[in-house]
Amino acid sequence: MSSLLAVLDAGDAQPAAVALRARSYELLGDVTGRTVVDVGRGGGRAVAELTARGARPVGVDLDPGMVAAARERLPTGDFHVADAGALPFATGSVAGYRADKVLHLLDDPARAVAEARRVLAPGGWAVLLGPDRDAIAVDSDDPATTRRLVRAKADTFPSPRAPRRQRALLHDAGFTGPVVEVRGLALTDDVALAMAHRLTDDRDWLAEQTARRRADRIFVAIPVFLLVAARR
């Protein structure tokens, strides 16, 4: 758990990731004093940042370990263990819904998006952020092996291509006018090397990536799809 949190923290500290989170908060609209559910909240960073913006965020995650870590980091935060497809909120009771790096981890992303619509009050906004695991770009002298490794790692997730389906999922759940923004993270430091190690344990390929890092030639790009839609 601690190693995963360390990787998440390093990624979340990247300037592009900070800007992406800020944009996701803006898209929620004015939620001052109102309840926002943040699904898949990692170590609680988004809950802390939304609180600073005047919202009343509630962090939800299915992993008790993640929830425990978030509570330890932010004792005043409101965190719950719950399934994204069965949230502990009454119908129409929340003003905003945010899910960051979540849908690709779910067996049934459509169920989670339908649940988002259920808990949102009319006029509320759903904001979905997701990295496309099957479209990660890594600079390498062996592009064929790189493509194979990226695809193999993507296929270890329940729904690796869910982020590119988010617009369709929002439409199917009854949301109005989903808007898509395409962002990305470009990694050129130790975070890139850590990402490479999370892709594979192929020693030859990792040796090349390690050499690239030493020579300041490593490059990993992760496309992120950011969507917002209204609950009418």
CATH, residue 35: 3.40.50.150
Q: Is the pLDDT of residue 3 over 80?
A: no
pTM, entire model? 0.90
- CA distance linking residue 227 with residue 171, whole number of Å: 12
54 Cβ contact list (under 8 Å, min separation 6): 31, 32, 33
- In-domain check, residue 146: no
Domain count, the chain: 1
Instruction: Give 78-81 contacts, CB < 8 A, sequence gap 24+.
Output: 78/47, 79/41, 79/44, 79/47
Q: Is the pLDDT of residue 44 over 90?
A: no
- In-domain check, residue 142: no
Token pair listed for 106:
């779910």
Q: Is the pLDDT of residue 6 over 70?
A: no
- In-domain check, residue 124: yes
- In-domain check, residue 107: yes
Tens digit of pLDDT for each residue in 48-82? 999 999 999 999 999 999 899 889 998 999 999 99
Give the other-Cβ count within 10 Å of 11's Cβ: 19
In this prediction, residues 158-163 reach a mean pLDDT of: 95
- In-domain check, residue 194: no
- In-domain check, residue 143: no
- CA distance linking residue 136 with residue 140, whole number of Å: 12
Q: What is the pLDDT of residue 232?
A: 87
- CA 11 vs. chain centroid, Å, equals 11
Q: What is the pLDDT of residue 40?
A: 87
- CA distance linking residue 3 with residue 1, whole number of Å: 5
- In-domain check, residue 205: no
User: Which residue, among 100, 114, 50, 97, has the nearest Cα to 78 in the 3D structure?
Assistant: 50
Tens digit of pLDDT for each residue in 132-151? 999 999 999 999 999 999 99
Tens digit of pLDDT for each residue in 168-224? 999 999 999 999 999 988 999 999 999 999 999 999 999 999 999 999 999 999 999
Q: Per-residue confidence at 7, pLDDT binned at 50, 70, 90?
A: low
- CA distance linking residue 139 with residue 119, whole number of Å: 42
Residue 175 belongs to what domain range? 2-132+158-186+224-230
- In-domain check, residue 139: no
